[in-house]
Structure 1
């Protein structure tokens, strides 16, 4: 079992520095036993970035009705009436994106963005700047917390998580100038001013496959495809934290690579004369 101090030192050796803005994706199983468990890992991360640093995580929502309302799918009336509205202060986190996000969200001082399905959690002095605003229809693209994170010079930390976990690359998908991007429609329940639940219609890019070729079951999506092409360039750092093999990426650099990767391979010459 590693101590919090040991984990902090390993994070520093990987390149996490005091004052950094770090988006974390973690597999607690891959990291192995840590003093204090997941809470201890959060404490080690906070120690590594220091009091001036900020942590960001992708929390989503464990009660998101995305699948139930996708592309006009209808819920029965009783299910719709009983579905809870999204409340950033109390909403659960989607376990499929890692249990660490639950502990980030429940840490004292943590703030949660107001987009139910793409909810982000931030902890540190830049938390409010990162999470507000987070409007429906702007999950990962222009105007999103991810855009602000990238523009602020953030770093992306994979602690035993796979390359398909690089949420920041959804921003590259959103801003890349390529034709044929897939769109989705769905609904989200929000708390109305009168306390009643208001269902809001949403249209956004399809983060499960920005192009048809990335939406084939069993095949890598755009995020994983871009990440696999980026890693061999060696413009990142990697090492061990706990028992896990870990990566640290410069968000601006990997996003710029992702945009270029998509535009060079999937750009239609007829769409933009002279290019």
Structure 2
């Protein structure tokens, strides 16, 4: 069976960077990007060209941040895609490699985060499940001090991104992937849950459990639609990708009010 011809539009590093600037990305700013490469169309150079374009738009004084989460480093008894036999659970807890910022691949967050985390000069935070990687002058400040019991809260890069006046870029990605909303969940009283993972300590590899607020993104698309209705969000296209751009602090403040209201 013949392979169907590619569908456009045809995007290049230069065209993507130009469209990012027209969307409103500012040279020198700090940008938390959630991306879908496939949504752009046919990209000459693939993921490398997209990362280059993001860096081109931000310029040498800007900082690019992406989520590089490793959700596979987690308690095997709660795995669903797929679930694994109960007899495997103790073996997995004992054998799962400890998180290493340099070598642990990102999991289920797309190809752009994996490209950024392996990019020359990239820095990555140390949370075993919810790390972020950054490229640019602010990378060290944004990625240091990520507490193990604060995956997406105040003592994570999200807290520092808010303080730094960062903006969020949803490039072909929906509000369901907007990690900034999780920062709001840490500020609203609610249930906690246990969170387990393999870490490296001064005594060697350890299976560790911490308690954190329970995080749930199931209503994020609904939350995002309300945020966009009530707040100024820049919208436009990059290639074929529907894209949005907004201040992270605005999204967090709105989410705090919206999530605290009765459903």
Same fold at TM > 0.5: yes
1:140 equivalent to 2:137? Answer no
Equivalent residue number for residue 43 of structure 1: 52
Q: In structure 1, how many angstroms separate the alpha carbons of the residues matched to 2:157 and 2:17? A: 26
Per the alignment, in what secondary structure is the counterpart of residue 251 of structure 2? helix
Deviations 1:12-69 (A, max 9, x none): 0111011110011111111122221101000000001111111111111164124446
Equivalent residue number for residue 22 of structure 1: 31
Aligned residues: 248
Deviation at 1:126, TM superposition (A): 0.7
Whether the 8 Å contact between 2:19 and 2:238 is mirrored in structure 1 is: yes
1:226 equivalent to 2:223? Answer yes
1:201 equivalent to 2:216? Answer no
Equivalent residue number for residue 218 of structure 1: none
Q: In structure 1, how many angstroms separate the alpha carbons of the residues matched to 2:78 and 2:88? A: 7
Please, what TM-score do these two structures have when normalized by structure 1? 0.84
Please, what TM-score do these two structures have when normalized by structure 2? 0.88
Tell me, which stretches of 5 or more residues in structure 1 are unaligned?
Answer: 210-220, 268-275
Cα 1:76–1:173 change in 2 (3 A) is closer
Whether the 8 Å contact between 1:170 and 1:223 is mirrored in structure 2 is: no
Q: In structure 1, how many angstroms separate the alpha carbons of the residues matched to 2:106 and 2:186? A: 24
Q: 1:1-275 alignment to 2 at 5 Å? A: 1-61=10-70, 63-68=72-77, 76-94=89-107, 96-176=108-188, 178=189, 181-194=190-203, 196-208=204-216, 221-263=218-260, 265-266=261-262
Deviation at 1:232, TM superposition (A): 1.5
Equivalent residue number for residue 83 of structure 2: none
Cα 1:69–1:197 change in 2 (3 A) is farther
Q: In structure 1, how many angstroms separate the alpha carbons of the residues matched to 2:92 and 2:74? A: 11
Which deviates more, 221-230 or 99-108? Answer: 221-230
